[in-house]
Chain A
């Protein structure tokens, strides 16, 4: 019998379960991604919401445990428009890529920051924040990229161009699409000083190339929700 009392968590997905219950996927600080059943929650008036830091308690014997209590531990937040789509995309990434009950303390904090920052961001800045989140997610999963050196061990030079060699790293090439400046911005995670629109697209394609093998042959559905292709 497991019994956990008030652990920090974010709800990342929910779906109806039986007549009045919900199946809830949480991203928790101490237990990583976990699926719980919320009995009778569909009938409750104040429903449990995403993008809010919660404290949850759960217990149970089998694989599917039951949510016994939850409370909001966050300020009210209204995420709207494009920022909402980006946040859903992040939830889908977490849902697809993390293993159940495998804690990621650092990623939890980064997710928390992401939700706070995305709320008031314009579209371009939101995309940049998302790219940095993807980088952190990949690093946490063990697919970190060396952003300080190229394949040959030389320091990344801001003024050089690079191309990405899958699973190896960056290769100095004058015809490369990736600027040394972008790699540098990715390294220092500079939110204020973001790359231009063209380099932001390069960054998107780079991350897509890195994420796709992990996602297998089932593409992310959230991508089809993005309007600006």
Chain B
């Protein structure tokens, strides 16, 4: 039983057998109650958390809180790769629109194409809802760029403004230490100073 629990903890990212062992003995010897709570919370989450039927993020409800919130601007749709990206953007507090989660990026070699990212769903959404702007917030990687390009091509058929998040020098960063690609992007995407 201990062995089995040990192996189960190893399924978590960054947890090897040594750390797993520490977890197991801590729960068994010092915190049985915490162990029960953990088990219950895990079962609850595994059973009830699913993908939001509107934006595909993880949610315990059929429609997640952000999608269900009428105060948020539904004319703006921000497209991100993962649910954790939503969390990052929400923390910045500047975005008040809605989201769409791809759960990955286009990766032909791995066999991940448009269907796997739910782009048909996105197309339906653009067709049926009144979206005025889509913000392509995929990562600043080649794969993220390919995905953004594909989506922008698909969205051109609709009357919608297509924008891409800016790439450049991080706040507090020094030019000297930025890599040449970032500098090239930052220069080509420069804005009027006001």
Q: Is there an interface contact between B111 and A221, defined as CB atoms closer than 8 Å?
A: yes
Binding-face segment, B72-80, B121-129, B141-149: B141-149
Instruction: Enumerate chain B residues within 8 angstroms of A49, measured Cβ to Cβ.
Output: 141-142, 181
Distance from A217 Cβ to chain B, minimum over Cβ atoms (Å): 13
Task: Tally B residues with Cβ within 8 Å of A.
Answer: 26
Chain A, residues 8-36, CB within 8 Å of chain B (1/0): the string is 00000101001110000100000000000
Per-residue 0/1 for B99-134: is the Cβ within 8 Å of any A Cβ (1 yes, 0 no)?
000000011111111100000000000000000000
Within 8 A of A (CB), among B150-194: 150, 153, 179-185, 188
- Least CB distance from B92 to A in Å reads 18
- Quick check: is B13 within 8 A (CB to CB) of the other chain? yes
Judge whether A13 and B146 touch: CB under 8 Å.
no
Q: Tell me which residues across on chain A come within 8 A of B93, comparing CB atoms.
A: none
> Given A18-B13, A92-B108, does the pair A227, B153 have CB atoms closer than 8 Å?
yes
A78 to B145, CA, bound (A): 10
B142 close to A50 (CB less than 8 A):
yes
Report the bound CA distance from A51 to B143 in whole Å. 12
Q: Hey, what's the 0/1 contact readout for A45-63 against B, CB within 8 Å counting as 1? A: 0110111100000000000
Smallest CB separation, B46 vs chain A (Å): 21
Query: How far apart are A27's CB and chain B's nearest CB, in angstroms?
Result: 12
Q: Does A80 lie within 8 Å of B150, measured CB to CB?
A: no
A interface bracket (residues with beta carbon within 8 Å of B):
35 or more
Q: Which of B14, B145, B149, B181 contacts A76 (CB 8 A)?
A: B181
Asked if B108 contacts A225 (CB within 8 A), the reply is yes
Tell me the bound Cα distance from A8 to B50 in angstroms.
Answer: 46
Contact of A85 among B14, B141, B149, B182 (CB under 8 A): B149
Chain A 83-116, CB-CB to B under 8 Å as 1, else 0, gives 0110011011001100000000000000000000
On whether the beta carbons of A225 and B181 are closer than 8 Å, the reply is no
Instruction: Known A72-B180, A76-B184; judge A91-B141 contact (CB<8 A).
Output: no
A13 vs B183: C-alpha distance in the bound complex, in angstroms?
24
Q: Is B108 a contact partner of A15 (Cβ separation < 8 A)?
A: no
**Which residues of the other chain, B, contact A78 by a CB distance below 8 angstroms?**
181, 184-185, 188
Query: A95 vs B107: C-alpha distance in the bound complex, in angstroms?
Result: 12
Which of B145, B181, B188 has its CB near the most chain A CB atoms (within 10 A)?
Answer: B181
| Contact between A92 and B109, CB atoms less than 8 A apart | yes
B182 nearest CB across to chain A (Å): 8
- Which residue of A has the minimal Cβ distance to B110? A15
By a CB distance below 8 angstroms, the chain B residues around A225 are: 106, 108, 113-114, 146, 150
A contacts, CB < 8 Å to B: 13, 15, 18-20, 25, 46-47, 49-52, 72, 75-82, 84-85, 88-89, 91-92, 95-96, 220-222, 224-225, 227
28 A-B residue pairs with CB within 8 Å? A13-B107, A13-B109, A15-B107, A19-B13, A20-B14, A49-B181, A50-B142, A51-B142, A52-B181, A72-B179, A72-B180, A76-B181, A76-B184, A78-B184, A78-B188, A79-B142, A80-B145, A84-B146, A88-B142, A88-B146, A89-B108, A92-B108, A92-B109, A220-B108, A221-B113, A225-B106, A225-B146, A225-B150
- Kindly list 13 other residue pairs between chains A and B, CB separation below 8 angstroms, not including A89-B108, A221-B109: A13-B107, A18-B13, A20-B14, A46-B179, A49-B142, A77-B181, A78-B184, A84-B149, A85-B146, A88-B146, A221-B111, A225-B114, A225-B150
- Residues of B at the A interface (CB closer than 8 Å) are 13-14, 106-114, 141-142, 145-146, 149-150, 153, 179-185, 188
